[in-house]
């Protein structure tokens, strides 16, 4: 019963579509612009850096908070933590509030990283920021960053690393269309520096 409750609550938390709600403040429906993805990157491109970055942070928090609370309540039991983490990310990817059409789980997975093993979160951010600024492919930077974070975790806790690898693989599968475009050379680039300069 506790497993079911943890799973349901975590899923509902993850399903709150911040990357859909906040762009609506600018009368932008992210489902109808850009990639059509209800995630932070599309919100960034469609509604600007302020709203986009806020969406990314909130999408991370909606998995960070339930996973952190569950880990404290259940004395760091790996089974409860794993359920909370997976269902929070699934909530983001397949939100009941948007007919199960959500984002790709990068920000929500990052929230899990920080809630369980903060070093992995910082590893992800370091790799993601560096690669995004250098190659300008957010999708590729996200995939590489998640696997780097998971692999670093293997040095300290293999059980947690397996969970992180599972979430990284789920996010990679959600990026299948991006991977196809990368292989074809048609993936869209995102110049973060230029976007923030225009905002100023």
Domain ranges, ordered by start, for the chain: 2-199
**What is the average pLDDT score of the chain?**
93
Coil/strand/helix, residue 158: helix
The sign of the torsion formed by the CA atoms of 153, 124, 165, 97 equals: positive
pLDDT at 194: 78
Angle between helices 192-199 and 118-135 (to 10 degrees): 90
Taking residue 116's Cβ as centre, other Cβ atoms within 10 Å add up to 24
pLDDT at 1: 59
pLDDT at 198: 66
Question: What's the CA gap between 118 and 84, in Å, rounded?
Answer: 17
Residues in the chain with pLDDT values less than 70: 1, 197-200
pLDDT at 6: 96
How confident is the model over 136-192, as pLDDT tens digits? Answer: 999 999 999 999 999 999 999 998 999 999 999 999 999 999 999 999 999 988 888
pLDDT at 26: 87
What sections of 36-77 are H helices per DSSP?
40-47, 49-73
Question: What's the CA gap between 45 and 80, in Å, rounded?
Answer: 36
Extract long-range pairs of 196-200: CB within 8 Å, 24+ residues apart. 196/49, 199/48, 199/49, 199/50
pTM of structure? 0.94
pLDDT at 64: 98
């Amino acid at each position: 019963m506790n497993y079911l409750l943890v799973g349901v609550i975590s899923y509902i938390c993850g399903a709150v579509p911040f990357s859909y709600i906040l762009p609506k403040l600018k009368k932008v429906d992210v489902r109808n612009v850009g990639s059509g993805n209800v995630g932070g990157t599309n919100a960034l491109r469609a509604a600007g850096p302020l709203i986009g970055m806020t969406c990314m942070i909130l999408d991370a928090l909606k998995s960070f908070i339930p996973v952190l609370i569950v880990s404290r309540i259940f004395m760091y039991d790996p089974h409860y933590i794993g359920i909370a983490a997976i269902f929070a990310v699934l909530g983001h990817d397949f939100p009941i509030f948007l007919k199960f059409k959500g984002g790709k789980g990068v920000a929500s997975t990052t929230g899990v990283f920080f809630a369980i093993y903060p070093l992995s979160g910082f590893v992800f951010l370091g790799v993601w920021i560096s690669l995004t600024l250098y190659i300008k492919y957010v999708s590729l930077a996200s995939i590489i960053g998640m696997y780097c974070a998971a692999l670093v975790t293997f040095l300290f806790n293999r059980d947690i690393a397996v969970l992180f690898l599972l979430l990284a693989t789920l996010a990679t599968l959600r990026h299948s269309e991006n991977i196809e475009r990368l292989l074809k050379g048609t993936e869209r680039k995102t110049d973060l520096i230029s976007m923030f300069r225009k905002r100023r």
